Amino acid sequence: MAGHNERLPTSDTAKQPDHIELKRVGLSYFTPRQETEALRDINLSIGKGEFLSIVGPSGCGKSTLLSLISGMLKPTSGTVMIDGVEVSGTSPKVGYMLQHDHLFEWRDVLSNVTVGAEIRRMDRVKARRKAVELLERYGLGEFVRHAPSQLSGGMRQRVALIRTLVAEPDILLLDEPFSALDYQTRLTLSEEVFHIIKDQGKTAVLVTHDISEAISMADRVMVMTKRPSTISSVREIRFDEGEQLSPWSKRQAGRYHDYFNAIWKELEDHVVSVI
Amino acid sequence: MSSPLYERYLRTLKRKQWLIGLARLSVLAAFLFLWELAARLKWIDPMLTSKPSLLWSSFREMATKGSLLHHTWISTQETLAGIVVSMALGTAIAVLFWWSTFASKVLEPYIVVLNALPKVALGPIFYIWLGDRYSVYGMAVAISVIVTIIMVESGFKEISKTKLKLMESFGATKLQMLRMVLLPASVPHFIATLKVNVGLTLVGVVMGEFLSSKAGLGYLIIYGGQVFQMNLVMVSITMLALLSVILYGLVNLLGRYARKKYHHET
Ligand SMILES: Nc1ncnc2c1ncn2[C@@H]1O[C@H](COP(=O)(O)OP(=O)(O)O)[C@@H](O)[C@H]1O
Ligand SMILES: [Mg+2]
């Protein structure tokens, strides 16, 4: 799927390591007042090009999990591996997309999307070319010289995604990237982002609290329990209508409601037991 | 294309602005007129209050024959240097506090105490350490640097943590965060700090000159008071007012330019 995959499939006769792998990962936060055990015994592996959605009660440790994969947090116990190498610190292989776009208002759109490339000291000209190409491809070509404040919320989030893509990560971590948007923009944008991610052949981990978003975008949906959080279940999302459905058509597909109800029920149990 | 109604709205807006400007000038004119009138009609004693016409003639005399412009220039220099040094030093210290939480925690109580301490009290120390000329700079910086640190630091704190988290996710170093986020995001804070600094540094300069100097507008004012020359005092104060107006105007221009450059909407 990924056109620029450097790994030669023939040379690897042994079992290929998973793209992202968490082994018995636990994480506790320490503050002067208390110790918060956010994650406990998380075992998870994610394949190349896969799209995984994570849902769970709020405050259960979903963002924490993403921070662990990104290398911004070190696990208290267990290991996080990317391509068979233990994660220690942030890596160019991973791109992060947050709830708020955090575009820099003192930069225009173009120099906003090259921020990551600039930090990583990537080739300036190449980064620029790639940025313009992506902006044009995803409908922002005429806004290259605009200030972020001149864009709508949905457009700003698309710019934020392109900023992540210009830095050329293999893995995209999306932490509730649509939750600050109104419902209609959310639907459209999640559709667009899905196509961009598939188009670019990236591996994606999406945290959301919108169950239908989770189902319609992902190959698998993972449900987490309340704190200390463990994995409650991981579901393959498969539709009889076909393999390559868009989020929009998945929402209309036959098994969609069964998935929705099952996940809803599961989450409800966790949320209720919190109260 | 704007509608006639909108045009009318703009015209009224403009007229209102004109009116405000006109009223401002009238207040000044009325004040000067009453002052002159009162002095001429001996409602007040011109020996104690001087009067505008006399001020004007002494200004011309002092500007051509005397050294008024020289003294003004000295004070201007001291003020500009004071502003530049406190901005640079204050920003540097604020950056240090952001860089090292440890340093910031350790030094916090000292900053609080220094901020509360009346800086004038340090005058004699500056005089002994720095001499009559440089003690003025010492006073100017002492008065404005602490406020600069506090204002710039609070600006840094306002910058959202997640913006820095975003930088971190790209593997940014602290230096990159500083250069790419903290400094540009703080432009509005720098302008606000600069505005406060103009006023404070002038206070420091005049105070320093009162205490020790042999030149500058503060010195002229003290000297004029001692030899009972109200003209000299009043002219110097007027020059001081002019100086602050000009500096304030410059900062405003700079602020407008910087805001535009960095797309910070007002
Ligand atoms: N930096 C931190 N220090 C202390 N506790 C934290 C920190 N970040 C998160 N937590 C706590 O860890 C738990 C999980 O947080 P988070 O991963 O943000 O949850 P989620 O994203 O699922 O809502 C929460 O209870 C939160 O209060
Ligand atoms: Mg979260």
Convert the pLDDT of each residue in B113-154 to its tens digit: 999 999 889 989 999 999 888 999 999 999 999 999 999 999
Res B199: pLDDT: 93
- For B179, residues 6+ apart whose C-beta sits below 8 A from its C-beta are none
Q: For residues A237 and A213, give the distance between their C-alpha atoms in angstroms, rounded to a whole number.
A: 12
**Ligand 1 within 6 A of CB of A274:** no
pLDDT tens digit string along B55-82? 898 888 888 887 899 999 999 999 999 9
Tokens of B203: 């206070």
Q: For residues B236 and B59, give the distance between their C-alpha atoms in angstroms, rounded to a whole number.
A: 9
Q: Which residue has the tokens 């209508």?
A: A241
Does the CB of B161 have a partner CB in chain A at under 8 Å?
no
CB atoms within 10 A of CB A181: 19
Mean pLDDT of A175-188: 87
Give the nearest partner residue to A98 out of B166, B180, B264, using CB atoms: B166
At B61 the three-state DSSP class reads: helix
Tokens of A157: 């989030």
Res A206: pLDDT: 95
Res A253: pLDDT: 80
**Ligand 1 within 6 A of CB of A225:** no
Does the CB of A105 have a partner CB in chain B at under 8 Å?
yes
Query: Would you give the DSSP letter of residue A220?
Result: E
- Tell whether the model's pLDDT for residue A192 goes beyond 70: yes
The CATH code of domain A1-93+208-275 reads 3.40.50.300
The mean pLDDT value of chain B amounts to 91
Does the CB of B188 have a partner CB in chain A at under 8 Å?
no
Does the CB of A145 have a partner CB in chain B at under 8 Å?
no
Res B1: pLDDT: 66
CB A103, CB A156: distance < 8 Å: yes
Does the CB of A100 have a partner CB in chain B at under 8 Å?
yes
Instruction: Kindly identify which residue of chain B lies nearest to residue A67, measuring between CA atoms.
Output: B169
- Residue B160 CA to ligand 1 centre (angstroms): 17
- Tell whether the model's pLDDT for residue A102 goes beyond 70: yes
Distance from CA of A243 to the nearest CA of B (A): 33
Nearest ligand by distance to the CA of A37: 1
Tokens of A245: 């459905």
Instruction: Describe the crossing of helices B52-64 and B4-40 by its angle, rounded to 10 degrees.
Output: 90
Taken in order B110, B111, B112, B114, the sign of the CA dihedral is positive
Alpha helix positions (H), A25-144: 62-70, 109-113, 115-119, 124-137
- Residue A126 CA to ligand 2 centre (angstroms): 34
Q: Which residues of A touch B262 (CB under 8 A)?
A: 105-106
Closest residue by CA, ligand 1 atom 18: A63
Res B161: pLDDT: 87
Q: Which residues of B touch A102 (CB under 8 A)?
A: 160, 162-163, 166
Strand A203-207 to strand A77-82: parallel, antiparallel, or no bridges (unpaired)? unpaired
Backbone angles phi, psi at A24, to 5 degrees: 45, 50
Give the nearest partner residue to B263 out of A90, A96, A147, using CB atoms: A147
Res A181: pLDDT: 83
Distance from CA of A119 to the nearest CA of B (A): 6
pLDDT tens digit string along B169-211? 999 999 999 999 999 999 999 999 999 999 999 999 999 999 8
- Tell whether the model's pLDDT for residue B266 goes beyond 70: no
Q: Environment class of residue B97 by beta-carbon count within 10 Å: exposed (0-12), middle (13-18) or buried (19+)?
A: buried
Does the CB of B166 have a partner CB in chain A at under 8 Å?
yes
CB B167, CB B185: distance < 8 Å: no
Give the nearest partner residue to B172 out of A98, A105, A119, using CB atoms: A119
- Tell whether the model's pLDDT for residue A124 goes beyond 50: yes
Query: Would you give the DSSP letter of residue A149?
Result: G
Strand A94-97 to strand A171-175: parallel, antiparallel, or no bridges (unpaired)? parallel
Strand A77-82 to strand A85-86: parallel, antiparallel, or no bridges (unpaired)? antiparallel
CB B180, CB B39: distance < 8 Å: no
Tokens of A120: 């990583």
**Ligand 1 within 6 A of CB of A112:** no
Strand ranges, E, within chain A: 20-30, 35-46, 51-55, 77-82, 85-86, 94-97, 171-175, 203-207, 220-224, 231-236
Alpha helix positions (H), B212-229: 217-226
Measured CA to CA in angstroms, residue A275 lies from A271, A272, B250 at distances of 7, 5, 60
Cis omega (within 30 of 0) on the bond before B124?
Answer: no
Give the nearest partner residue to A106 out of B166, B169, B184, using CB atoms: B184
Choice between A25 and A1, residue whose per-residue pLDDT is larger: A25
Instruction: Kindly identify which residue of chain B lies nearest to residue A172, measuring between CA atoms.
Output: B169
Q: Which residues of A touch B167 (CB under 8 A)?
A: 115, 119
- Tell whether the model's pLDDT for residue B265 goes beyond 80: no
Does the CB of A24 have a partner CB in chain B at under 8 Å?
no
Q: Environment class of residue A224 by beta-carbon count within 10 Å: exposed (0-12), middle (13-18) or buried (19+)?
A: buried
Q: For residues B53 and B238, give the distance between their C-alpha atoms in angstroms, rounded to a whole number.
A: 13
CB B259, CB B187: distance < 8 Å: yes
Interface predicted TM-score (ipTM) = 0.82
Look at A72 and B264 and tell me if their CB atoms are within 8 Å: no
**Ligand 1 within 6 A of CB of A60:** yes
pLDDT tens digit string along A37-66? 999 999 999 999 899 999 999 889 999 999
List b or e across B58-73, with b for residues whose CB sees 16 or more CB atoms inside 10 angstroms.
bbeebeeeeebeebbe
Q: For residues B37 and B31, give the distance between their C-alpha atoms in angstroms, rounded to a whole number.
A: 10
